[in-house]
Amino acid sequence: MSTTDTKGTEKESADDLGAAGSQLSTAPREEAPNLPSLGVIGWARWFWRQLTSMRVALLLLFLLSLGAIPGSLIPQSGTDATKVADFMDRHETLGPIYEKLGLFHVYSSVWFSAIYILLFVSLIGCIVPRTWQFVGQLRGRPPGAPKRLTRLPAYTTWRTGAEPEQVREVALRVLKQHRFRAHVAGDAVAAEKGYLREAGNLLFHIALIVMLVAFAWGQLYKSEGNKLVVEGDGFANTITQYDDFKSGSLFSIDHDLEPFSFDLKEFKGTYEVSGPNKGTPRTYEADVTYSVGADGEEKRTTIKVNEPLKIGDSKVYLVSHGYAPVVTVRDGKGKVVYKGAVPLLPQDSNVTSSGAIKVLDGYRNADGEREQLGFNAFFVPSFAGEGQGTMLSQFPALLNPRLALSAYHGDVGVDSGIAQNVYQLDTRKLEKFEDSDGELLTERLAPGETMQLPDGAGSITFEKEIKEWAGFQVTEQPGSGWALLGAIAAIGGLAGSLFIQRRRVWVRAVRGADGVTVVEMAGLGRSESAKVPEELGRLAAVVYDAAPTAPDAPPERTQDQDPDPSDAQPTEEPSADTSTPDPQVVSAEGADKQ
């Protein structure tokens, strides 16, 4: 197993350090993919080992990112169905192939799901044994010192007059003070620190699972609907009230819609009134009263663009707005046959709007026959002024509103059973009202003005009161709290995993051949890092203070405590190259001070 993060030659280093370097991480050991010779169970075990190996995890990560690419380049039916239809029209051969491969809904396609499900099975298969292993490591003690401490990446030694037991005692105390887990094992103190790295890593991987489950849950149970509400009107959260509604595959209409209702009291929009950004929206606010449950208490609130109203798992977003001029339609006898606010759809950023007014029943024409009326409506909140001709708004607020109407009568076509767009007039079965020139009767009205229909057919009045409407999107995505929790845990775990170094320190103190105590200290990190020798230097300095150099140590001799002299080849201190100090030697920080 890879214990020291070296390049290649794992075996050699394992021999070198024995158990000392083992289990600095719980990463699964890499095995050569030997094909099993046993039957079904052998194969299953083999397959499971492969699936939970780092190599396959890497491969699956790679596949996941590759698999995500087509969805960003090919139109997706989930986000833009018209583009998909367009693509199908333009590519006669490619289209059906893409369709078969699920390329129009990559992120819910079988193959993409297969990749991430495999990845997460692999992840779970990886986490469970690693967690056990880690718990085992926490219960056990840091492994004892390897025979040759000189072999370790950071090493220091000195001779001291203190007794070996004394040195070990000091070392144990110092290491514990530095929050190492330490114990005396034989002639040396063994210590380890940085377990949070492993804990962080496990937390991160577990958090990934939490996030995925929360996300999948949200997708399956989500719902999303839109509703246009005119000022003064209300909305209750039942499916029939929505203008349109989408939901995840496990969503159940009977159980899953949060019971609440709200009324739109007032919509307020303010706009930049001057400067180069004249007309740019500044605020949009919808004042609403809402109540939760069948007979909940009524509360007031304001919904803004980036501040949805949150009720349970549901959020109510303000997504659009427009004007709803109030009109009154009378028949030839002056009887009101229609009165109401007609929401119109904005066409540009200054809210030039269009729509249709339909009078479906209650109207009788001059001959007393039942008929329907239809009007094409254009509305501008800020008319440029007489002579400026075009019905294009100059500003989004109600500065100088005008309503232009053209009038039809006959069969609006609502009864035919085909769903109709309420904002468009189907003129196929309608007859024009004509003006004196025989053209379509069209008039532009200021608030309070009335347009007379010819031959005593009645009239339509553009009332002074002009309402606004707001478009709301109601979404419900359960599990988002869990997703957020998982995300926060993931970042925390990741930081622990990447910033904390797990390392071991050993302090050996033995009586040398000449009766003087020899202290050796060595450090080993999971990966090579400058921090390990630096920390060892600091620890050595503290231990050194308690066990200073033996005064009778022969100073000229290079010290060589290695049991196997051929192993350590002391070299002279580099002297020639002064401009660039030898990077291999780090001074024991603090040891030089005092």
Binding mask 451-470 for ligand HEM (x = CB under 6 A): --------------------
DSSP state of 239: G
| DSSP string covering 124-186 | HHHHHHHHHHHHHHHHS-PPPPPS-GGGSSEEEEEEESS-HHHHHHHHHHHHHHTT-EEEEET
In the complex with ligand HEM, the residue whose CB is nearer, 28 or 218, is 28
Which residue of 4, 223, 372, 461 would you call a contact of another protein, by CB under 8 A?
4
Q: How far apart are CA 503 and CA 17, in angstroms?
A: 14
Q: How far apart are CA 294 and CA 297, in angstroms?
A: 9
Q: Which does 52 bind (CB under 5 to 8 A by kind): another protein, ligand HEM, none?
A: ligand HEM
Q: Does 473 bind another protein (CB under 8 A)?
A: yes
Q: Which does 322 bind (CB under 5 to 8 A by kind): ligand HEM, another protein, none?
A: another protein
CA 253-257-262 angle, to 5 degrees, is: 135
Which H/E stretch holds residue 466?
strand 458-476
Residue 320, token pair as written in the block: 């659009």
In the complex with another protein, the residue whose CB is nearer, 150 or 450, is 150
Q: Least distance in Å: CB of 498 to ligand HEM? A: 6
Residues 195-254 that bind another protein (CB under 8 A): 215, 224, 226, 228, 243-244
Q: Least distance in Å: CB of 25 to ligand HEM? A: 4
Which residue of 142, 396, 458, 478 would you call a contact of another protein, by CB under 8 A?
396
DSSP state of 14: H
Q: How far apart are CA 348 and CA 363, in angstroms?
A: 34
In the complex with another protein, the residue whose CB is nearer, 276 or 387, is 276
Which residue of 17, 20, 115, 119 would you call a contact of ligand HEM, by CB under 6 A?
119
Q: Which does 295 bind (CB under 5 to 8 A by kind): another protein, ligand HEM, none?
A: none
Q: How far apart are CA 205 and CA 184, in angstroms?
A: 34
Asked if residues 460 and 174 have their Cβ atoms less than 8 Å apart, the reply is no
Q: Least distance in Å: CB of 315 to another protein? A: 7
Count of residues near another protein by CB under 8 A: 130
Binding mask 106-125 for another protein (x = CB under 8 A): xx------------------
The count of C-alpha atoms lying within 13 angstroms of the C-alpha of 197, restricted to the half-sphere facing its C-beta, is 19
Residues 511-570 that bind ligand HEM (CB under 6 A): none
Question: Which span (22-30, 81-89, 386-394, 417-425) binds ligand HEM, by CB under 6 A?
Answer: 22-30
Q: Does 213 bind ligand HEM (CB under 6 A)?
A: no
Q: Least distance in Å: CB of 129 to ligand HEM? A: 10
Please name every residue paired with 410 in a beta bridge, in sequence order, or none if there are none: 372, 430
Which residue of 1, 27, 366, 384 would you call a contact of ligand HEM, by CB under 6 A?
27
Q: Least distance in Å: CB of 203 to ligand HEM? A: 11
Residues 478-517 that bind ligand HEM (CB under 6 A): 497-498
Buried b (16+ CB within 10 A) or exposed e, 64-99: eeebeebbeebbbeeeeeeebeebbeeeeeebeebe
Residue 271 three-state SS: strand
Residue 390, token pair as written in the block: 């075009």
Q: Least distance in Å: CB of 365 to another protein? A: 29
Asked if residues 568 and 150 have their Cβ atoms less than 8 Å apart, the reply is yes
Q: Does 281 bind another protein (CB under 8 A)?
A: yes
Asked if residues 255 and 239 have their Cβ atoms less than 8 Å apart, the reply is no
Phi (first) and psi of residue 7, to 5 degrees: -90, 120
In the complex with ligand HEM, the residue whose CB is nearer, 219 or 459, is 219
**Nearest by Cα to 495 from 131, 200, 130, 127:** 200
Question: Which span (14-22, 121-129, 267-275, 339-347) binds ligand HEM, by CB under 6 A?
Answer: 121-129
CB atoms within 10 A of CB 568: 18
Q: Least distance in Å: CB of 152 to another protein? A: 8
Count of residues near ligand HEM by CB under 6 A: 16
Q: Which does 399 bind (CB under 5 to 8 A by kind): ligand HEM, another protein, none?
A: none
Residues 410-469 that bind another protein (CB under 8 A): 421-423
Asked if residues 516 and 159 have their Cβ atoms less than 8 Å apart, the reply is yes
Q: Least distance in Å: CB of 220 to ligand HEM? A: 20
Q: Does 25 bind ligand HEM (CB under 6 A)?
A: yes
In the complex with ligand HEM, the residue whose CB is nearer, 28 or 413, is 28
In the complex with ligand HEM, the residue whose CB is nearer, 239 or 498, is 498
Sign of CA dihedral 6, 11, 12, 16: positive
CA end-to-end span of the chain, whole Å?
44
Which residue of 5, 99, 258, 263 would you call a contact of another protein, by CB under 8 A?
5
Residues 478-537 that bind another protein (CB under 8 A): 480, 483-484, 487, 490-491, 494-495, 498-499, 521, 528, 533, 536-537
Q: How far apart are CA 449 and CA 91, in angstroms?
A: 53
Torsion angle in degrees (nearest 10) through CA of 121, 126, 131, 137:
170
Q: Least distance in Å: CB of 256 to ligand HEM? A: 29
Q: How far apart are CA 528 and CA 517, in angstroms?
A: 30
Q: Which does 141 bind (CB under 5 to 8 A by kind): another protein, ligand HEM, none?
A: none
Residue 273 three-state SS: coil
**CA–CA distance from 200 to each of 137, 285, 457, 501, 560 (Å)?**
15, 44, 79, 11, 40
Q: Does 44 bind another protein (CB under 8 A)?
A: no
Binding mask 42-71 for ligand HEM (x = CB under 6 A): ----------x-x--x---x----------
**CA–CA distance from 327 to each of 10, 393, 528 (Å)?**
85, 20, 79
Residues 183-202 that bind ligand HEM (CB under 6 A): 201
Please name every residue paired with 346 in a beta bridge, in sequence order, or none if there are none: 353
Contact residues for ligand HEM, defined by CB under 6 A = 25, 27-28, 52, 54, 57, 61, 119, 122-123, 126, 201, 205, 208, 497-498
